Structure 1
C-alpha cells in the first residue's frame, strides 16, 4: 500500500511540475469554471437561496476578473500536494498504531488513511482532467 501511495503521489507531483507554465490566450479552464458556477447560480436562483446566489455571484466575478489557466492549474496542483501530505501523515499514524498493536486504533487509522488516499486520488483526477482540457 505504501509503495502505491508513494508512486501515485510522485506521479501527481511530476504532473504538476511538468505543466506548461504559460497560459494560453483562450482561458479555457476559466471558461469551464465559470460555466460550472453559472449552472450552480441558476440552480440557487431557482431555489430562492439568496445567500448562495450572492456567494456564487462573487465567485463568478472573481473568475471573470482574475482567473487564468495557470492559476486554476496551480490551485489544483496545490490541492494534490496538500492531499499527498495528508496521506503521508495518515500513513505515519497508521504505522504507529500498528507498532502499538491497539486493534481499535489500527482500524481507525486505516479508515483515516483510506479516506486521505481517496481524496488524493480525486484531487489527482481533477488535476488530470484540467490538464486534459488544455490538451483539447
Structure 2
C-alpha cells in the first residue's frame, strides 16, 4: 500500500515540476515578493506583510509568463499614450507662448521616456525566458 502511495506521489511530483518550471518570470516575481515580505517583517510593518502575502498568493495561484508579458505590453501602450499627451501639451503651450510650461513639460517628457525605456527592457527580459 505504501509503495503505491509513494509511486503516486513521485508521479505527481514529476507532473507538477515541469508546470512550475515553465513560468520562470512568475517564479522570479514570487521570489521578489518573498524578499519584500521578509523586509516588512523585519521592519514590523504588519499591514505591508499582509498585503504582500495576499499578492504572493495571487501570483502563485494565477501567474503565467504569458500573462506577465501581456500586462507589460499593456503598460507600454499606456506609457506611450501618456507621452503622446505630453507632446500634445507641449505643442499647445508653445503656440500659446507659455515657454515656462514648455520647460516643465519637457522635463516630464524626459522622465516618461525613461520609464518607457525601462518597461521595454523589462518586456525584453520577460520574452527571453
Smaller-chain TM-score range?
0.7 to 0.9
Q: Give the number of the structure with larger relative contact order, counting CA–CA contacts within 8 Å between residues 6 or more apart.
A: 1
CA deviation after TM superposition for structure 1 residue 38, in Å: 0.6
More helix by share: 2
Alignment check: 8 A CA contact 1:94 1:113 kept? no
Equivalent residue for 1:51, pick from 47, 54, 74: 47
1:62 paired to 2:45: no
Q: Which moved more, 1:32-41 or 1:114-123?
A: 114-123
Structure 2 unmatched runs, 5+: 1-17
- Per-residue deviation, residues 56-95 of structure 1 (Å, max 9, x unmatched): 1000000011111111111111111110110111111111
Structure 1 unmatched runs, 5+: 1-23
Please, what TM-score do these two structures have when normalized by structure 1? 0.76
Alignment check: 8 A CA contact 2:30 2:60 kept? yes
**Over the residues paired in the alignment, what is the CA RMSD in angstroms?**
1.4
Task: State how 1:108-123 maps to structure 2 within 5 Å.
Answer: 108-123=104-119
Task: State how 1:1-136 maps to structure 2 within 5 Å.
Answer: 25=19, 26-132=22-128, 134=129
> How many correspondences in the alignment?
110
Q: Distance in 1 between matches of 2:55 and 2:76?
A: 22
Please, what TM-score do these two structures have when normalized by structure 2? 0.80
